[in-house]
Amino acid sequence: MNDKSGSLKPEDYARIRKTAASLQEEMSDFLSAFLRIESENPPGNRYRECCEFLGEKMESLGCAVDIHEIPEEALADLAEESRGYPRYVVIGRTGTRGPVLHFSGHYDVVPAGDHWTVDPYGGIVKDGKIYGRGASDMKSGVAAQIYALEVLQKAGYRLKGSYVSSGVPDEETGGTTGMGWLVGSGLLTSNNTDYCIITEPLDPDRYCLGHRGTLWFSLELEGIQSHGSMPSEGLNPIDAAKELLQRIDVQIRPGLEKESAYPVAPVSSRKSTLACTMIEAGSKVNTIPSTCKLSFDWRLIPEDSVQEAKESLLKICDDLVEEKKITRYSYRPIVEVDPNWVTEEQHLVQTLKACGKQMLGIDMQPVVSPGMHDQRFATREGGLQASIVYGPGRLTQAHKSDEHIAIQDFLDGVSVMAAVALELLGFEKETDPEANETG
Ligand SMILES: [Zn+2]
């Protein structure tokens, strides 16, 4: 054992790359098998099987593994369609000393949908790519968390700090019952963790510092029901809905034209967006309905806040009541998450950039994600600002038909993650096994 500590040398990068390449077939097989476990959310299929699959592999690498069932009381907000499907978090850990690096990723996937030319749960490998729902978003990320550790072990490195890897459910439906529980239960907070990397697909040559805010809500406008032949006897909330949408165009939309100074990717998402996504009203052709319900999806650039956005909208609703266009309204929040980001000037980010440069020969670029992800639980509830997103998948593949990952991207992600773990946790290195053989 060469007790060699400190920064990685060019030969270390070569050694990691070579070891990752030697594991390519095994890694592809593992990801294919993982993709064959159809873990669609909703409703939350085969979650236990996913955790056992990951846990078994982590145990084979010497990790202490726990599978936690999310307690019933934490599942109160689950949607109707997900009731009765238990939720689990799997955590593997090697090492007992600090510093602690925690890789986390979600193993649930969105429903496959239509227009696939391959079986979305076949785990098919062809033309240097692995296909399947979750290939990019983000079973490749979860698999990479585990294989980065195996690469380090096979390459003869011993980590000084602790390497933790977790698989969580339900990111695709908000994350409260996955990463939210992991953080809320105290298993991942700044008290026990120094660095957190969420392995979502933001491309293997970029790193993500945060995400836009999300404001999902419904508004129920109340009018007065009457006979359809005598509309003046009632108050039609559909007319008020039309008025509401027009006032949004005049009073709110111009403000959404402001471009963010943050590197939100893709560039088309660099402004806030507000879309009315559902309208429900009426039950009979000859009756003026009493209510009209509208649902909205509002995404906020980091310069905006949920509070301000909400106030501007409720002001319009208050005006409609004042002007007697409706009798009253109710606002129901579905998701209210402020924009989230962490500073680039921190050790974790600088280390990742340096490793990316050495491993891939490129200057990795920062991005802010257009949609929210699990990072916010770690930074807000967990108080851990050293939380970023880096994973092997491609953002453009997420939720698409024929979703896939290039095997080269998968290998690159694993190699970069392995190098980052060495730099952050410190290491001892065994003499190169091949040098031994020949010398
Ligand atoms: Zn994802």
Amino acid found at 69: E
Residue 7 is predicted with a pLDDT of 86
Residue 43 is predicted with a pLDDT of 97
353 CA distance to ligand 1 middle (Å): 22
**Identified catalytic residue from 40, 108, 194, 304:** 108
Parallel, antiparallel or unpaired: strands 195-198 and 328-337: unpaired
Query: Does residue 205 belong to any structural domain of this protein?
Result: yes
Query: Does residue 1 belong to any structural domain of this protein?
Result: no
73 CA distance to ligand 1 middle (Å): 25
Residue 1 is predicted with a pLDDT of 41
**Identified catalytic residue from 137, 170, 171, 409:** 171
- Residues 258 and 128 both lie in one domain: no
Please name the residue that has the structure tokens 């120094």: 194
CA distance 143 to 229: 63
Got the DSSP string for 355-382?
A: HHHHHHSS--EEEEESS--THHIIIIIS
Q: Maximum distance among all alpha carbons in the chain?
A: 98
138 CA distance to ligand 1 middle (Å): 5
Domain boundary among 306, 337, 368: 337
Query: Does residue 2 belong to any structural domain of this protein?
Result: no
201 CA distance to ligand 1 middle (Å): 7
Q: Where are the beta strands (DSSP E) in 282-386?
A: 287-288, 291-300, 328-337, 340-341, 365-369
Q: Where are the beta strands (DSSP E) in 15-142?
A: 64-69, 88-94, 100-106, 125-126, 129-131
Residue 4 is predicted with a pLDDT of 41
Query: Does residue 3 belong to any structural domain of this protein?
Result: no
Domain boundary among 279, 310, 337: 337
- Residues 368 and 329 both lie in one domain: no
CA distance 83 to 42: 10
- Residues 119 and 227 both lie in one domain: no
Domain boundary among 337, 352, 374: 337
Which CATH number is 31's domain given? 3.40.630.10
Which CATH number is 223's domain given? 3.30.70.360
Please give the span between the terminal C-alpha atoms of the chain, in angstroms, as a whole number: 16
137 CA distance to ligand 1 middle (Å): 5
- Residues 163 and 302 both lie in one domain: no
Closest CA to 416 of 24, 13, 94: 13
391 CA distance to ligand 1 middle (Å): 10
Parallel, antiparallel or unpaired: strands 100-106 and 162-168: parallel
Number of structural domains (the chain) is 2
Q: If the chain, 439 residues long, is cut into consecutive pieces of 10 residues, what is the mean pLDDT of each piece?
A: 63 97 98 98 97 98 98 91 96 97 98 95 97 97 98 97 98 94 98 98 93 96 97 97 98 96 92 96 97 97 96 98 98 93 96 96 94 94 97 92 97 98 94 50
Residue 77 is predicted with a pLDDT of 83
The answer to whether the beta carbons of residues 426 and 5 sit under 8 Å apart is: yes
Residue 434 is predicted with a pLDDT of 56
Residue 430 is predicted with a pLDDT of 81
Boundaries of domain holding 313? 213-337
Query: Is-catalytic flag, 345?
Result: no
Query: Is-catalytic flag, 108?
Result: yes
